[in-house]
Structure 1
């Protein structure tokens, strides 16, 4: 019996290459979903015009958030080497996302929800970074943010390693609502120092001003003043279409345009988590 070692080696190499391509494809697909759908990064990092996102400026920054505590300007997160993240290493990007620290050591301020992004798993951070590397670079220099509050020295100790959530609907929903989609960043009341009041998780009440006027974040807990009387279908319609249980159009800055592409499992997990929250009046 003759063994054709070169042929076997070639088949093995081809199999390994196909595996690597499949892994890269899956990683990029996950990263795109996190950035473009559940994370809705463009809701802040893509400039918006009267007709929606400005063409050719995806993730190029420049959106201004002028609130009493700060005048924050969303940075350019495209791979442009001069005005974006093109010269940042993967480790620097991961640190910026999860710890709020730029490569020069300066601290990123709100409304970037670093305290929640600290919970992003290692796999998901890697996927987001891999996808951001593929975004078309856009040269767009933006002004620096100005803070009228004292930023903390840090948002916590260095993030070592974060595993994926437990494989249950409530655990997956908690991960989605906090670490990924950061729903609780907008739907939890804020303390005077600028941090969310975690004792009133999901209670709503924060005001958001924009061209639409003033919108108020809804109570997402199972209280009668929140989602207690809503059906699952009504919650899904609100998240994905921006229509309330009373058929009233909901206002920005909720990223309905992104959330409409969430998977049925993600929506089910999110509802399971919201139903599990302690009711808040």
Structure 2
């Protein structure tokens, strides 16, 4: 009797396909790094996982979100990014997934601009591979794309200043560079910078707040997180900033409102101490604005 080994991908049942996609290239450490990036920083569940009364429905993780996003050129919902071959991304190549994540280009053309691919452009090659490995390790969920899905026209990416291309691993040893990296992946400035024609005005309003959100909590305006001592967070202590980021609590102890409260408790609370320290250090470099 021959010794047993891993199943051959030349004659593999569909049930084992995910194993063959992952096992040659992804180890447990790479998958866990991808999990951290997805859960603590990029918050992919926010758009791609349905919600229940208690929060994300993780039994249907990555099968597509229920929230509708719309603007003058699109009406879409978060797509199925589970490794299901027919309705998800199980049949996509790594190159196709990379293009979708960092360039906003899907199999059928340009994705809607609500997919924040410009925020993911600084992903290092290792981190981008780790995200793909983690997505491939998820449970395949058969869930056809929900209507509506309409896109028209073109759009221009608006990456954060200094974060328009992939970072190299060595550069992340610098604390401020690492903070910029974390801020881009977590999309801090895309929320905390006022928009012009649907795009953040980083040149004039970086971190100054002003973007308006309309949700179940009502109308919420993103706050000023520049280093201005009165209008911004220049007088806040590091601990106060960290509490706001990870617990959704303002300086005066009042709870922050969605979407920040949701993101902080569900995602940013998982941020590593080093990444949190770097993010706070970088936020303090934002020039004061009123």
What TM-score comes out, normalization by structure 1 length?
0.83
Question: In the superposition, relative to structure 1, how do residues 37 and 83 fare at CA in structure 2: closer, same or farther (>3 Å)?
Answer: same
Show the counterpart of 1:253: 259
Q: Give 1:166 deviation, angstroms.
A: 3.7
Choose which of 163, 173, 180 in structure 1 pairs with 2:179: 173
Q: Give 1:54 deviation, angstroms.
A: 2.1
Secondary structure, aligned partner of 1:246: coil
Question: In the superposition, relative to structure 1, how do residues 65 and 184 fare at CA in structure 2: closer, same or farther (>3 Å)?
Answer: farther
Are the counterparts in 1 of residues 208 and 223 from structure 2 also a CA contact under 8 Å?
yes
> Which deviates more, 57-66 or 230-239?
57-66
Are the counterparts in 2 of residues 113 and 185 from structure 1 also a CA contact under 8 Å?
no
Choose which of 90, 93, 99 in structure 2 pairs with 1:89: 93
1:273 is the counterpart of 2:279? no
Show the counterpart of 1:125: 128
Task: Report the count of equivalent residues.
Answer: 256
Show the counterpart of 1:8: none
Show the counterpart of 2:216: 211
Stretches of structure 1 that go unaligned for 5 or more consecutive residues are 1-19
Map 1:21-60 to 2 at 5 A: 24-60=27-63
Q: Give 1:71 deviation, angstroms.
A: 2.8
Q: Distance in 2 between matches of 1:250 and 1:154?
A: 29
Question: In the superposition, relative to structure 1, how do residues 176 and 154 fare at CA in structure 2: closer, same or farther (>3 Å)?
Answer: closer
Q: Distance in 2 between matches of 1:233 and 1:152?
A: 39
Are the counterparts in 1 of residues 182 and 279 from structure 2 also a CA contact under 8 Å?
yes
RMSD: 2.4
Q: Distance in 2 between matches of 1:189 and 1:154?
A: 16
Q: Distance in 2 between matches of 1:202 and 1:187?
A: 5
Secondary structure, aligned partner of 2:87: coil
> Which deviates more, 231-240 or 109-118?
109-118
Q: Distance in 2 between matches of 1:153 and 1:144?
A: 23
Show the counterpart of 2:149: 145
